[in-house]
């Protein structure tokens, strides 16, 4: 074999080596991945116009009455709204004075546990000694776990021993 034919493949060999060198030196982008966000810190938008009736009834209150409700997990901006009216039913008349007042509380699960043990803590919301109250409360986001809350109606001191409460509450997500 002559010397010219040996060098004929040299440019091809050099181009191959150069290609191999360039390909091995390039950094490949890692596949795109979701940023690591802890599951406890994820809040997803709620479906539009989602709501849940929490309480729609008339009931009596001697000492207190409680009504639990749950906010689903990953609820960004839950909002409780509604109203209540309390009255003392006397012989064919309804009272509209301070003798019909009740206290109204919105409590978290921990606050409710303290409440049942007789510890007075700070509620999420309260309306003291009222017989006609509109309520509009924003609740904290529920994060990755459903959150349980309690509506508590408590008989106010100085009024009648037994009161009737008509309540209508809804929570929007």
pLDDT tens, position by position, 82-126: 999 999 976 444 555 788 999 999 999 999 999 999 887 899 999
Specify if 35 maps to a domain: no
Specify if 121 maps to a domain: yes
Specify if 11 maps to a domain: no
For residue 149, give its domain range: 51-172
Domain count along the chain? 1
**143 pLDDT higher than 90:** no
**4 pLDDT higher than 70:** no
- The two counts, helices (H) then strands (E), for the chain are 3, 10
Specify if 117 maps to a domain: yes
Specify if 167 maps to a domain: yes
Percent of the chain surpassing pLDDT 70:
69
As a whole number of angstroms, the distance between CA 73 and CA 142 comes to 5
Tokens standing for 52?
A: 């849940």
Specify if 76 maps to a domain: yes
Given strand 79-87, what is the order of strands in its sheet?
51-61, 163-172, 79-87, 132-138
Specify if 59 maps to a domain: yes
Domain containing residue 132: CATH number:
2.60.120.680
Tokens standing for 59?
A: 């009931």
- Note whether 68 and 99 are within 8 A (CB): no
**153 pLDDT higher than 70:** yes
Tokens standing for 79?
A: 């909002």
27-54 pLDDT, tens digit each = 566 555 555 555 555 555 554 458 899 9
- Note whether 108 and 124 are within 8 A (CB): yes
As a whole number of angstroms, the distance between CA 108 and CA 115 comes to 10
More confident residue, 61 or 46: 61
Specify if 9 maps to a domain: no
């Amino acid at each position: 074999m002559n010397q010219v034919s040996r060098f004929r493949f040299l440019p091809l060999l050099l181009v191959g080596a150069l290609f191999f060198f360039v390909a091995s030196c390039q950094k490949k982008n890692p596949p795109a991945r979701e940023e690591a966000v802890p599951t406890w810190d994820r809040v997803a938008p709620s479906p539009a116009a989602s709501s849940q009736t929490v309480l729609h009834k008339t009931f009596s209150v001697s000492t207190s009455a409680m009504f639990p409700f749950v906010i689903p997990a990953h609820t960004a901006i839950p909002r409780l709204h509604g109203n209540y009216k309390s009255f003392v039913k006397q012989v064919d008349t309804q009272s509209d004075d301070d003798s019909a007042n009740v206290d109204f509380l919105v409590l978290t699960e921990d606050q409710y546990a303290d409440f049942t043990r007789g510890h007075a803590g700070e509620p999420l919301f309260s309306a003291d000694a009222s017989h006609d109250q509109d309520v509009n409360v924003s609740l904290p986001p529920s994060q990755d776990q459903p959150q349980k809350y309690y509506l508590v109606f408590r008989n106010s001191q100085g009024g009648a021993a037994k009161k009737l409460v008509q309540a209508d509450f809804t929570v929007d997500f």
